[in-house]
Amino acid sequence: STSLGLQGALGVMAESWCTIESDPGVFTELIDRFGVRGVQVEELVSLDDAEFGRHRPIYGLVFLFKYRKEEDPRPSIDVMTEEPGLFFANQVIPNACATQAILAVLLNTPEIELGATLTEFKSFSGDFAPDLKGLAISNSEEMRTAHNSFARAEPFVMEESKVATEKDEVYHFIAYVPFNGKVYELDGLKQGPIPLGAVGEGEDWLGVARPAIQERIRRYEGTEIRFNLMAIIRNRTETLTDKLRVREAELQAVEVAQGGGEAMEVTGGFELASGADGLAAQHVAVSQAILDLKGEIQEEAHKFENWKVENIRRKHNYIPFVVTLFKLLAQHGHLRPMIEKANTTRAEQQASRDKAAAAK
């Protein structure tokens, strides 16, 4: 009876977590609702160095793929004894997997300012086993509320929840994070974290994670093309602003040198050009770099504004508006002519396609 009681409790929890869209704007606002500051999510279009370079510093990766049950020969570790500081939670609620993968990155990155909610949660659940950590996530009112704030408005209430079958498309999220000199794949459906390799001094952890992601994609080649790779990164406006300050200091140093003043010391190994012509060319180059950075900062502001608008649209229920529109069109005698015109147009298009097919 205890097992049945637990299954019932899990069923109630599962129904209380909605599915949310895999989108960088959604995930960025979700992280913000957790109380985390200075972090955003960006979609990666490739696994090459240039794409990684555009988004540094990268705290962790979240990979979305179509789930299928398969054997994984890679050994996982006992996180409680082998890496007790690593936050790893088993997934107990299907709809929470996106949030759980994001938490796996946030809670394992010391540089991130977690805020009160996640700091308290990490402290509270720190000594829990992975299954209890999963239950703690599922029972967190703050996390569930933040997650469910991105529920799409449902125009119709279904009496029963449909149980997924093998034919249904089920998507799953896993995380890749550097921790304590190693890189781990964190999949809540596995018993424990999967170590992917050590990161040597001066090495890039993404170089260790990349082959594992490439191998996962390779296994699906020919049968599945829908993948989604997100990077959880430092807020780009903050990163770009830091770069802008450095460039502005460089420009000031160039202008002082052009005026015959004493050479200023600039961090980052910046060296002044020699001669008037060299300084003039350097002034042009640094000034252009400053303009480029200001342009990128402006683009970030526009992107966040677009994300905000899109997230509002996602949550809005348009059905009452559409129903009212149809009612008004019918009341004014416009609906039937519009339907007849649409049917005529469709018939003409079909006749044109049939004629083209017969001519081949």
Task: Identify the bridge partners of residue 233 per DSSP, sorted by sequence position.
Answer: 40, 58
Determine the average pLDDT of the residues in 234-251. 96
Q: What is the pLDDT of residues 86-120, one digit of tens each?
A: 999 999 887 888 899 999 999 999 999 999 999 99
Among the ranges given (3-7, 267-271, 282-286), the one the predictor scored with the smallest mean pLDDT? 3-7
With 50 as the cut, is the pLDDT of residue 31 above it?
A: yes
Q: pLDDT-derived band of residue 2, with 50, 70 and 90 as boundaries? A: very low
Which residue is listed with tokens 């649209």? Answer: 313
- Tokens representing 332 are 């004014």
- Residue 31: its H or E element: helix 24-33
Among the ranges given (35-39, 264-268, 274-278, 306-310), the one the predictor scored with the smallest mean pLDDT? 264-268
What backbone torsions phi and psi does residue 333 show, to the nearest 5 degrees? 75, 20
CA distances in angstroms from 127 to 6, 89, 130, listed in the order given = 22, 11, 9
Longest dimension (CA), the chain: 86
Of 207, 234, 261, the position where a domain reaches its end is: 234
Look at residue 269 in the predicted model and tell me its pLDDT: 78
With 50 as the cut, is the pLDDT of residue 314 above it?
A: yes
Q: What is the pLDDT of residues 154-169, one digit of tens each?
A: 554 444 444 444 444 5
With 70 as the cut, is the pLDDT of residue 143 above it?
A: yes
Q: pLDDT-derived band of residue 24, with 50, 70 and 90 as boundaries? A: very high
Is residue 334 flagged as an active site residue?
no
With 50 as the cut, is the pLDDT of residue 4 above it?
A: no
**Percent share of the chain, pLDDT over 70:** 87
Look at residue 3 in the predicted model and tell me its pLDDT: 43
For residues 252 and 226, membership in a common domain is answered with: no
Judge whether 181 and 50 are in contact, CB under 8 Å.
Answer: no
Q: How far is CA 318 from the centre of its chain?
A: 26
| DSSP codes of every residue in 47-111 | -SHHHHHHTPSEEEEEEEEE-------SPPP-HHHH-TTS-------GGGHHHHHHHHHHTT-TT
Distance between CA atoms of residues 300 and 296, nearest Å: 6
For residues 152 and 258, membership in a common domain is answered with: no
Of 195, 211, 234, the position where a domain reaches its end is: 234
Look at residue 71 in the predicted model and tell me its pLDDT: 76
Higher pLDDT, 36 or 316: 36
Active-site residue, from 55, 147, 172, 316: 172
Determine the average pLDDT of the residues in 59-66. 92
For residues 106 and 208, membership in a common domain is answered with: yes
For residues 134 and 225, membership in a common domain is answered with: yes
For residues 276 and 338, membership in a common domain is answered with: no
For residues 12 and 149, membership in a common domain is answered with: yes
With 90 as the cut, is the pLDDT of residue 65 above it?
A: no
For residues 33 and 168, membership in a common domain is answered with: yes
For residue 177, the domain's CATH number is: 3.40.532.10
Question: How many domains is the chain built from?
Answer: 3
| Sheet containing 171-179: order of strands | 39-44, 228-234, 58-66, 171-179, 182-186, 194-198
Look at residue 6 in the predicted model and tell me its pLDDT: 45
Domain with 348, as residue range(s), is 319-359
For residues 337 and 254, membership in a common domain is answered with: no
Peptide bond preceding 193 in cis form (omega within 30 of 0): no
For residues 178 and 124, membership in a common domain is answered with: yes
**Phi-psi category of 268—alpha, beta or left, where left has phi over 0 and alpha has psi -120 to 50?**
left
With 50 as the cut, is the pLDDT of residue 145 above it?
A: yes
Higher pLDDT, 321 or 98: 98
With 70 as the cut, is the pLDDT of residue 50 above it?
A: yes
For residues 202 and 290, membership in a common domain is answered with: no
Look at residue 58 in the predicted model and tell me its pLDDT: 97
Is residue 18 flagged as an active site residue?
no
With 70 as the cut, is the pLDDT of residue 25 above it?
A: yes
Distance between CA atoms of residues 236 and 301, nearest Å: 10
| DSSP codes of every residue in 170-232 | -EEEEEEEEETTEEEEE-TTSSS-EEEEE--TT--THHHHHHHHHHHHHHHTTT----EEEEE
SS3 content of the chain, % helix, strand, coil (to 5): 55, 10, 35
**Percent share of the chain, pLDDT over 90:** 55
Q: pLDDT-derived band of residue 216, with 50, 70 and 90 as boundaries? A: confident
- The one-letter amino acid code at 123 reads S
Of 192, 208, 234, the position where a domain reaches its end is: 234
Judge whether 43 and 230 are in contact, CB under 8 Å.
Answer: yes
Look at residue 11 in the predicted model and tell me its pLDDT: 47
With 60 as the cut, is the pLDDT of residue 127 above it?
A: yes
What backbone torsions phi and psi does residue 139 show, to the nearest 5 degrees? -95, 0
Look at residue 51 in the predicted model and tell me its pLDDT: 94
Average model confidence (pLDDT) for the chain?
A: 86
For residues 11 and 57, membership in a common domain is answered with: yes
For residues 229 and 242, membership in a common domain is answered with: no
Determine the average pLDDT of the residues in 20-29. 91
Look at residue 222 in the predicted model and tell me its pLDDT: 63
Look at residue 10 in the predicted model and tell me its pLDDT: 46
| DSSP codes of every residue in 328-357 | HHHHTT-HHHHHHHHHHHHHHHHHHHHHHH
Look at residue 204 in the predicted model and tell me its pLDDT: 93
Burial 91-122 (b: 16+ CB within 10 A, else e): bbbbbbbbbbbbbbbbbbbeebebeebbeebb
